[in-house]
Structure 1
Amino acid sequence: MQILFATSEVAPFSKTGGLADVSASLPAALAELGHDVVVVSPLYRSVLQAGHKLNRRRLKIATRVGDKAIQGGVFELRPAPGLSLMFIDQPSLFDREQLYGQDGVDYPDNERRFAFFCRAVLELCRVAGLAPQVIHLNDWQTGPVAALLQSEYRERPELNATGTLMTIHNLGFPGLFPPGAMMTLGLNWDLFTPSGLEYFGKVSFLKAGLVFADQLTTVSPRYAREIQTPAFGCGFEGLLQERAGDLKGILNGVDYDQWDPAHDEHLAARYSLEDLSGKVACKTDLQRLAGLELEHDLPLIGAVSRLTAQKGWDEFIEQAEQLLELPAQWAVLGSGDPALEEGLRALANSHPGRLAFFSGMQEQLAHRLQAGADMLLVPSRYEPCGLNQLYALRYGTIPIVREVGGLADTIDDVAGGEGNGFVFPVGQPQQMVAAVRRALELFADRAAWHRLMQTAMAQDYSWRRPARQYDLLYRQVAGLRQE
């Protein structure tokens, strides 16, 4: 089966979060199952800087965005049998320092940038000779593909039997633009209604996918249930309730070729479930890098996160006085909201040797932090899946998480007797402090902590099971279009 996987970012070429990791790992796992997978993504500046030799295809993509004709090219890389990465080249739109914006502000032409990308995904099928049975869409940047396919491209022979599957990686990013975005996309105004793309007076690129895709998925079973409620539905809960029969939650997986301390080239020392000795060297390495005291017996709590209100870091800063009184060290890596960055930087300056803050998203440092920390804090208010807690399990770094979404699906509290981490409830910020205290108390029992690390590291969250679940859904979607 030929699957076209449309995504706005794909590791290691372009990345702001977990979508990039999924866009690299899931297509590779699908190719191993025998599918012909074509990943399509913009040719950002970072793609050219990634150091891979790309093949410039003699293909020209021509389409209209609003009243302007725009052309683009195609670069390709074939990293494995059955897997192709095609990058859409349009320098005026994608040759930027960042993917979506700078200094916490979105690029003002994101409407045009991703309208062009969505049309380019469909135009690519004709010029590259593709006839996918399924187009897999991801988040708001690709949502309009489903609407464009239905309204304009369905009669093309290469697309007349193509089904669509839309994955919601984060409902909190609806891709909102003024009503004129209908013209930019080239969609009929008849679709600017509450049953179409209209969302509280604006056009939602994400809603285009939610309404028009044949099948919807999100990245954990619990999040699939949560987003059908007012608390987590972001105003889409009514639509998602209507489409509940087409909505399925599939947990993301982990690429253990990239995230496994037994062969992670970024670490000061390797270690494994059978031999944990190298984790001591990794902790010392992180303490030195962070300017923390070199105390092996003092628990080190890490965090790797986008810094947004969703991720709960405002609550961390509010609770910092209590948290930093506890006998533990802290190392936080993240970027995002300038106010949250400044808040964490101020805490690091006022607590030298106790808390270290690294601004930015540095891949190598993320690996070193996962390996060097004893625990990983994930205080998200909502979390569709979360990958960092899954990485932490493999690294023997015990997660402390809020009971939401994929965090609740993957982390069971040790209080139940068979747990792999510490869980605190929604809506009670003080419970974060209580959960950290419980973790520190268990850490003092070295034998019990060692058993907990072994339990965590033995768990398998590889892509094998999710890939098989997507394989089944693809066949269902393709079958719908053949009826």
Structure 2
Amino acid sequence: MKKILFVTSEAHPLIKTGGLADVSGSLPKALAELSQDIRILIPYYQALKTFGNVRYVCSLRIDNRSVNILETRMPESHIPVWLVDYPTFFNYPGNPYVDENGNAWENNAERFALFCRVAVEIAMDRVHQDWKPDVVHCNDWQSALVPAFLSLEDNRPKTVFTIHNLAYQGLFPASTAATLNLPGQLLSPEGLEFHSLLSFIKGGLVYSDRITTVSPTYATEIQTPEFGYGLEGLLRHRNHVLSGILNGIDLEHWNPESDPLIAQTYTAQTLAEKKANKAELQKRFSLPVTDGVPLFGLIGRLVEQKGIDLILDSLPAILEMPLQIVLLGSGEKSMERKLMSYAHLYPEKIAVTVGYDEALAHRIEAGSDVFLMPSRFEPCGLNQMYSQRYGTLPLVRRTGGLADTVVDAVPQTLNDNSATGIVFDEATAGSLLEAVKRAAILYGNPKAWEQMQINGMSKDFSWQQSASQYLDLYRSL
């Protein structure tokens, strides 16, 4: 049994802004089910939901500050969650990283450096809880200074650092190093310096024993200039300790057989029942109720990363085809406006809801025939896995986790029953349009379509799969 300290800035259902929270909520549970002794460390934000009693563990003096450690539990599990309680830094309303106007909190460097120092004290068992981890598993820039600080300790635990999205690096002015009182031996271009800035994420990339990211393809992509954001040289230099492990999905929460949020439950054996969800979705969005045309769904942030610009550029041609589109998301205001104007012009063809609505997300996954996900880059992605589980064929660009989880419908894969979706290569409107045409043609072949649905529904995207790969990684240390 390994003792694992899992250090994260968010974890579902305690607090969530994105995919990191899903991983931090699910992976520790899957590891606990493999009989590992795991504890989660997270800042005690004002917006953090606690479950059950919160008890006091201990107090620490760090940089002349008094910090308390409190303990709660992950719901429906015995996993202890240690909360870093320092109201001056963490008792802010709303989002953990930005204010209500979307601007980063001015003292983010101080906040997360303190969080990292607390993690080090726990990792070295200087909190006198008689628990010293074998492995400290850190995630993204907010906890990336932990491997750097631990590199200065004798008899330290092993460290693993996971990149969930390399686009977010925790970059601050070089002068911040003095404010944070960082040890001089960490401050060099080989250490935390990055083009005369201070880079938190380099703490994880330079000093951890193992680096992972959330899909095998993304692990390769981040070693190239297109996806490396200036860190590709460092990642190539350390590629002997870099690997990609696909995220899993929550199979209980996303299960068409028992999903309470959808109009009609169904299985791979009762696929005809899925049509009731399509009809309900068409009604909900005031689209003509018909099974004669494919219904395309999209849920996500309306930003360029997600390929929304490719959709907008090809929409005039797409809307001439016999199909329907429903879309749920929010993001760049100009994209929201353009999509709304198409919905206004083509009310029989496209419907848009701006915002996020969990129940509606489930209904779109269950009711759509095709799920659109033409991302420019996608470290792992979850919706393409949810879609396959719901017998909805993902239409994706061949990048990151999308390349690793969706098998393109070509003659060979259609023959050997491995095809689960439609995949295109170039990030251009023309390539997307061709893929949409392919999907529409395939939809006209009910036998092939149903076989692809069954192929997707029988794939194993469980966290157990991912957790056992992480456990192998911990043991190899």
TM-score, with structure 1 as normaliser: 0.91
State the alpha-carbon separation in 1 of the partners of residues 59 and 292 from structure 2.
61
Any residues of structure 2 matched to 1:87-166 within 5 Å, and which?
A: 87-94=83-90, 95-101=92-98, 102-124=100-122, 125-127=125-127, 128-151=129-152, 154-155=153-154, 160-166=155-161
- State the secondary structure of the residue aligned to 2:151: helix
Report the 3-state secondary structure (helix = DSSP H, G, I; strand = E; otherwise coil) of the residue aligned with 1:223.
helix
SS where residue 258 of structure 1 aligns?
coil
Of the structure 1 ranges 413-422 and 184-193, higher mean CA displacement relative to structure 2 is found in 184-193
* Aligned 8 A contact 1:134 1:163 in 2: yes
Contact 2:144 2:161 in 1 (8 A): yes
- AA aligned to 1:253 is G
The answer for the alignment partner of 1:22 in structure 2 is 23
Describe the shift of the 1:191–1:435 C-alpha distance in structure 2 as closer, same or farther (beyond 3 A).
Answer: same
* Structure-1 separation of matches of 2:97 and 2:355: 15
Partner residue, 1:391: 386
Q: Distance in 1 between matches of 2:447 and 2:205?
A: 49
Partner of 2:295: 300
337, 341, 345: which one pairs with 2:336?
341
Alpha carbons of structure 1 residues 86 and 360: separation in structure 2 relative to 1, 3 Å:
farther
Match of 1:171 among 159, 166, 171: 166
Task: Tell me how large the CA RMSD over aligned residues is.
Answer: 2.1
Name the residue aligned to 1:56: 55
Q: Is the 8 Å Cα contact of residues 59 and 68 (structure 2) preserved in structure 1?
A: yes
The alpha carbon displacement at 1:137 in A equals 0.8
- Report the Cα offset of residue 294 of structure 1: 2.2
- Secondary structure (helix, strand or coil) at the match of 1:436 reads helix
Q: Pick closer, same or farther for the CA change 1:296–1:91 going to 2, 3 Å.
A: farther
The separation in 1 between residues aligned to 2:13 and 2:207, in whole angstroms, is: 30
Counterpart contact for 1:310–1:380, Cα < 8 Å: yes
Give the corresponding residue for 2:218.
Answer: 223
User: Alpha-carbon deviations, 1:376-431, whole Å to 9, x = none?
Assistant: 11111111111110111000010000011111111111114321100111343310
SS at match of 1:291: coil
Distance, in Å, in 2 between the alignment partners of 1:390 and 1:324 is 26
Percent sequence identity is 42
**What is the DSSP-based 3-state SS (H/G/I as helix, E as strand, rest coil) of the residue aligned with 1:254?**
coil
Q: Which residue of 2 aligns with 1:381?
A: 376
Q: Distance in 1 between matches of 2:179 and 2:344?
A: 47
Report deviation, 1:167: 0.7
Measured after TM superposition, the shift of residue 360 of structure 1 is 3.0
Equivalent-residue separation in structure 1 for 2:76 and 2:376 (angstroms): 38
Give yes or no for contact 1:104–1:337 (8 Å, CA) kept in 2. no
* Structure 2 counterpart of 1:123, one-letter code: E
Give CA deviations for 1:353-394 in whole Å, capped at 9, x if unaligned: 432223333322222211111111111111111111011100
Matches within 5 A, 1:195-214: 195-214=190-209
Determine if the alignment matches structure 1 residue 237 to structure 2 residue 232: yes
Which of 200-209 and 355-364 deviates more?
355-364
Whether 1:193 aligns to 2:188 is yes
For residues 17 and 348 of structure 2, the distance between their equivalents in structure 1, rounded to whole angstroms, comes to: 29
Q: Give the direction of change, closer, same or farther, for the CA distance of 1:439–1:54 in structure 2 (3 Å limit).
A: farther
| CA distance 1:306–1:227, shift in 2 (3 Å) | same
Tell me, in whole angstroms, the C-alpha distance in 2 between the residues paired with 1:271 and 1:89. Answer: 45
SS at match of 2:112: helix
**2: CA distance between counterparts of 1:88 and 1:244?**
33
Q: CA deviation at 1:174?
A: 1.2
Residues 1:353 and 1:85: Cα distance change in structure 2 (over 3 Å):
farther
Q: Provide the secondary structure at the position in 1 that maps to 2:330.
A: strand
The CA deviation string for residues 27-62 of structure 1, in whole angstroms up to 9 with x for no partner, is 1111111101111222334423x7x33423243344
The one of 320, 331, 340 equivalent to 2:315 is 320
Where structure 1 has 5 or more consecutive residues not aligned to the other structure, the ranges are 478-483
CA shift for structure 1 position 344: 3.0
Residue 372, structure 1, aligned to residue 371, structure 2: no
Residues 186 and 456 of structure 1: CA distance in aligned 2, closer, same or farther (over 3 Å): same
User: CA, structure 1 residues 71+431, in 2 after alignment: closer, same or farther (shift >3 Å)?
Assistant: same
The 1:284/1:221 distance shift into structure 2, 3 A limit, reads: same
SS at match of 2:299: strand
Taking a change above 3 Å as real, the CA distance of residues 372 and 111 of structure 1, as seen in their structure-2 partners, is: same
Query: Residues 159-208 of structure 1: CA distance to partner in whole angstroms, max 9, x if unpaired?
Result: x3311000111111111111133234431244332211112221111111
Checking the alignment, whether the CA contact within 8 Å between 2:392 and 2:453 is kept in structure 1 is: yes
Given residue 52 of structure 2, which amino acid in structure 1 is its aligned partner? K
Taking a change above 3 Å as real, the CA distance of residues 358 and 61 of structure 1, as seen in their structure-2 partners, is farther
Does the aligned pair in 2 maintain the 1:13–1:47 contact within 8 Å?
A: yes
In the alignment, which residue of structure 1 is the partner of 2:416? none
User: Would you say 1:275 and 2:274 are equivalent positions?
Assistant: no
TM-score by structure 2 length?
Answer: 0.92
Check if 1:42 corresponds to 2:43: yes
Deviation at residue 80 of structure 1 after TM alignment? 5.5
Number of equivalent positions: 466
Task: Please tell me the residue identity of whatever aligns with 1:53.
Answer: G
Decide whether aligned partners of structure 1 residues 192 and 360 sit closer, same or farther in structure 2, where only a CA change above 3 A counts: farther
Question: 5+ residue gaps in structure 2?
Answer: 414-418
Give the AA of the match of 2:338: G
8 Å contact 1:35–1:82 — kept in the other structure?
no
1:114–1:360 CA distance, 2 compared to 1 (3 A): farther
Query: Which residue pairs with 2:459 in the alignment?
Result: 459
Alpha-carbon distance in structure 2 between the residues aligned to 1:192 and 1:275: 61
Instruction: Describe the SS at the equivalent of 2:338.
Output: helix
| Residues 115 and 184 in structure 1, CA contact (< 8 A), matched pair in contact too | no
CA contact (8 A) 2:310 2:432 kept: no
Q: Is the 8 A contact 2:57 2:68 kept in 1?
A: no
Specify the alignment match of 2:244 in structure 1. 249
Contact 1:78 1:85 in 2 (8 A): yes
Q: Whole-Å Cα distance in 2 between the matches of residues 91 and 341 of structure 1? A: 37
